[in-house]
A and B are shown apart, each in its own frame.
Chain A
Amino acid sequence: MNYKPDEKDWMAYLYGELEGQEKEKIDRYLLEDAEARAEFEKFRRLRKMMSTVEDQEVIAPPIFIGDTRQRMLWSSPYFKTIVSIAASLLLIILVGRITGTRISVSNHEFRLSFGEEQAQPIRESAPPTQALTASEVQQMINASLNENNLAQQASWKETQAKLDVSIRRNLNASSARIDQLVRQAATASQDQIRQYVSTIQTENAQMVKDYFQLTSGEQKKYIEDLLVDFAQYMQQQHTNDLQVVQTQLNSLQQNTNIFKQETEQILTSIITTVGAPQESKEIKN
C-alpha cells in the first residue's frame, strides 16, 4: 500500500472534515499502520487536553456608535478647511476691492496703494543749455562772490553807523533820567525816616502803657487770690487745732474716768481683803 496521508489530510480527518473515500482511506491506513495510529492518538489526546480550556465569562459592554456613515460632505474636516481658506481669500479680495488696494512690482519697486491712482506730473525737462567751460564758470563764481562781498561790507558799515548813533542817544537820555531818580529818592527817604521813627515811638509808648496796665491788673488779682487762699488756710488750721484740743480733752476725760473706776475697784478689793480675816477670826473664835 503506497498511500500515506499528508498533514492536510490528517488535520481534515482529525476535525471530521473528511468524507467518503478519503476518510475510508485514512481509516484503513490507521488500521494497518500502528505507528501512524500512535501518532494520530497523540493528536487526539492533545485535542482532548485542549478542550479543558474553557471560555472566559464576559458581559458585553454597551457599544455606542457615532453616526459617522451619514456624515455629510460639508461636515468633513477637509471640506471645512478648504471652505475656510476660500472664505478668507474672498474676504481679502472684497476688502481689496472696497479699499482700492493696488499692488505693483516694477523697476525694482514694490508699490502698495489704496484708491485711485493719480497721474504723476511729468517733469518737463530743462531746456538745453549752452555748454560752459570750467574757467568761465570759475570767473562767474568769483564775480558773484566779489559782488556779494562788496554788498555785505556796505551793509555792515551802514548798520555799524546806525548802531553807534543809537547807543549815544540812549546813553545821554538814560544818564539824565538816572540822576533825576537818585535825587527824588534822596529827598523822599528823609521824610519817610522821620515818619517811620515817630510811628515807632508812638507804638512803643502804647505798648509799654498796655503792658503796665495789664501787669498791674494781673498782680492785683494774684495778690487777692493769694490773700483769700491764705485766709482759707488759716481758718482750716484753726479748725484743725480746735479739733485736736477737743480730742485731747476728750481723751483726758476718758483717762480720768478710767482712773476713777480703777481706783474704786482697788478700794473695793482692799476693803474686801481687809474685812475677810476679821470674819474668819470671828468664826474661829
Chain B
Amino acid sequence: MPSLYHETVKLSRKRAEGLKMAAMHAETLLDIAMMHSETLIVRARQGDQGAQGKLVQLWYKRIYNFGYKFFLDHDLAMEVSQKTFISMCRNLAGLQDIARFKSWLYKIAVNNCREEARKNKNSRSLSFDQVWNREAEESPAWEGSGQRLDNPERQLEQVELSDILQEALLELNEEQREVVIMKEYEGLKFREIAEVLNISENTVKSRMYYGLDGLRKILEKKNINKDTIGYEL
C-alpha cells in the first residue's frame, strides 16, 4: 500500500511539473511574441483591425492580471482591460516611438485603474478586516502540518499563500501597489515604470523598497514567515 501511495504522489508531482513546464514554455512563447510585435504594432497603428485584434490577444492577459492584482476583483480587472484596449486601438496612431509601446500601454492601464479605484472608492468600502478570517490568520492551516512534502497538500498551501499575498498587496497604498505589481509581476524595468508613471527612476525604486518593506510587515503581522509556511522558499 505505501508503494502505491508513493507511486500516486510521484505521478501527480510529474504531472504538476509537466503542466508547470508547459505553462512556462507557453509564457516564454507569449513573451517572445510580445517582444517581437513591432510589425504588428506598425500595422495596428496604420489602422489594420486584424493587427489590433492580435495585439489585444497578445497583451490582454498581462493587462487583465495587472488589473486583477491591483483590485483583486475579476469584474474590475475586466473593465480596466476593456477600457485599456479600446483606448489603445483609438490612440495607437498617436504613438510616436514603437519601442515604448509597452510602457505606453501600461500607462493607459494605470490611468484606468486609478479612475476605477476613484469611482469605486465609496461603493467598495468593505475592508479586509471584515472579510479576513481572524482565526485562520492567527493559526494558518499549514502551521500544525507534520507532513511537509511536495504533495497536493503543499500545493493547497501555496494557493492559500498566494491568496494571502494578493490580499496583502491590496493593503499597500496605490502608488506602492502599482509599482510592486509592475516590477514583480509584469517584469517592467525601473526605467519603464518611471516612464509609465511619469516620475523619476529613483522615486520608482524608493516606492518599490517601501512597498516590499510594507508587504513584509503585513505578512509578519499575519504571522507568515519561513517557519510558518514550513518549507524553504
Contact = CB atoms under 8 A, between A and B. Distances in A.
A7 B205 contact: yes
B82 interface: yes
A52 B165 contact: yes
A15 B190 contact: yes
Contact of A65 (B61, B89, B208): B89
Given A65-B86, A68-B90, A58 B61 contact: yes
B85 interface: yes
The dominant DSSP class at the B interface is helix
Interface in A190-245: none
Interface string A45-60: 1111110111111101
Given A49-B161, A53-B165, A17 B85 contact: no
B190 A12 contact: yes
A15 B49 CA distance: 37
A69 to B, nearest CB: 6
Interface residues of B, number: 45
B208 A11 contact: yes
A50 B165 CA distance: 7
Contact of B90 (A45, A54, A65): A65
Contacts of A48: 233
A150 B85 CA distance: 112
Contacts of B82: 61, 63
Interface in B199-233: 202, 205-206, 208-210, 212, 215-216, 219, 224, 226, 229, 233
A103 B77 CA distance: 64
A156 interface: no
Interface in B25-69: 49, 52-53, 56-57, 60-61, 64-65, 68-69
Interface of A: 7-8, 10-12, 15, 17, 42-43, 45-50, 52-58, 60-63, 65, 68-69
Q: Which 6 A-B pairs give the minimum distances between C-beta atoms?
A: A60-B60, A7-B209, A48-B233, A8-B205, A11-B205, A65-B89
20 contacts: A7-B206, A8-B202, A10-B209, A12-B205, A42-B216, A43-B216, A45-B233, A46-B212, A47-B212, A50-B185, A52-B158, A52-B162, A53-B162, A55-B61, A56-B74, A57-B61, A58-B60, A58-B77, A62-B53, A65-B49
Interface of B: 49, 52-53, 56-57, 60-61, 64-65, 68-69, 74, 77-78, 81-82, 85-86, 89-90, 93, 158, 161-162, 165-166, 183-185, 189-190, 202, 205-206, 208-210, 212, 215-216, 219, 224, 226, 229, 233
